[in-house]
Amino acid sequence: MDVLRPPLLNIHGRIYRRNIIKEEHYEEEEEFSYMGPADSEELVADETGDLHPIEQTDKGYRCAIDVPSVLYKYIIGKKGETRRRLEADTKTSISIPKQGVEGQIVITGSSRSAVSSAVTRVEVLMDSFRKKQPFTHFLSFPLNDPKIQEGFLSFKDEVLQKCAQDHGVEESIFQNPLKLHLTIGTVALLNDVEVRKASEHLQECQNFIRDITDGKPLPLEVKGVEYMNDDPGMVDVLYAKVHVKDRSNKLQEIAERLVEHFVSVGLLAREWDRVKLHGTVMNTLFRKDSSAEDSGGTGRQATSEREAFDARNILKEFGTYCFGEFELNAVQLSQRYSSDCTGYYTSAGSVNFS
């Protein structure tokens, strides 16, 4: 890392420098500095107070912050070092619930500015380590319409008949037809409170979604396949292409607006300038691993162990394959690695177009 150009963090519209000075196991000793005007402590306090109310008490000031229990250890640090340093630097006291017990971190101090400073430091730590958590939920357009499922199963059968001799092509790397979807973005929701808030944020998007769709389902065509990387002979993900039948940009516009909203509330990190909508039909992460099954594992390979497949013949034979047409009427927030009674991912929230 270039010490003169440290990574920047954007938290609620404020920009911080992130300077890593030590790293051990899961604990990272980090220093953060607010990139604002000089002598701006009161400004930070006012901004933070809007997000996390700081109450005046008989003994000083107090602020309670909702923090998922999985992040406690990063604020405590190795043998409590991070918490002690935060308390010493800000002249506050930080009370943290027991590990595994969901609750609030309570910060108390003799001055409002001291409590505000500690709140900001805790926020930055949370943001830094939250980004290292695997995603738990994702925003998507469901493609599990019966007509699309039927078209997908036909595609799968034909590929296995014509291309099974190609390197890495086997039945286990095909998507579950019940879980077909277009991925919009992924989020890490670390407790029930965050899941509920994310669902509420999705509901807030209802107005602009219905404005874009005119309150009607979108007629879609699922046609053609494409691969993710640069070498068609070494592919990890093959996806189906989807477009609105009237060739409008409505589907893409909804996806962009959703990402924009979830980025603005801090639930999603923007990775690309444009959302790449893709309906995965083949993925080497699905490849069965007999050793993992024998040991009671998930039966899925780790990313570092993925075996790519040769998609050249598939692209040649099925590049314009038509999976079918249907009317899309919802966007969903779904839970990863779970399914409901229909076989689709368990929904944590949804918004209908009509």
CATH code for the domain of 177: 3.90.1140.10
Same domain membership, residue 323 and residue 295 = yes
The tokens describing 305, both together, are 């162990």
Structural domain tally of the chain? 2
Residue 157 is part of which domain span? 137-352
Same domain membership, residue 151 and residue 77 = no
The 10s digit of each residue's pLDDT in 316-344 is: 999 999 999 999 999 999 999 888 888 89
pLDDT above 80 (res 302): no
Positive or negative: CA dihedral 146, 148, 149, 151: positive
Query: For all residues of the chain together, what is the average pLDDT?
Result: 85
Nearest CA-CA partner of 9 in 144, 161, 131, 136: 131
Of 72, 96, 130, at which residue does a domain stop?
130
The model carries a pTM of 0.76
pLDDT above 70 (res 291): no
Same domain membership, residue 256 and residue 218 = yes
Name residue, tokens 């609750």.
103
Same domain membership, residue 241 and residue 98 = no
Same domain membership, residue 328 and residue 211 = yes
- Our measurement of the distance from residue 152's CA atom to the centroid of its chain's CA atoms, rounded to an integer in Å, reads 26
Name residue, tokens 């700081």.
54
pLDDT above 60 (res 10): no
Same domain membership, residue 305 and residue 236 = yes
Position 122 confidence tier, pLDDT thresholds 50, 70, 90? very high
- Helices then strands, counting H and E runs in the chain, come out as 10, 15
Q: With contact defined as beta carbons under 8 Å apart, do 34 and 8 qualify? A: no
The 10s digit of each residue's pLDDT in 145-176 is: 999 999 999 999 999 999 999 999 999 999 99
pLDDT score, position 44: 39
- What CATH number corresponds to the domain at position 120? 3.30.1370.10
Angle made by CA atoms 147, 151, 152, in degrees to the nearest 5: 115
Same domain membership, residue 142 and residue 82 = no
* Structural domain includes residue 347: yes
* Structural domain includes residue 113: yes
Same domain membership, residue 125 and residue 141 = no
* Structural domain includes residue 105: yes
The tokens describing 148, both together, are 């699309």
Same domain membership, residue 120 and residue 262 = no
* Structural domain includes residue 2: no
Distance between CA atoms of residues 148 and 261, nearest Å: 29
DSSP state of 236: S
* Structural domain includes residue 159: yes
Position 5 confidence tier, pLDDT thresholds 50, 70, 90? low
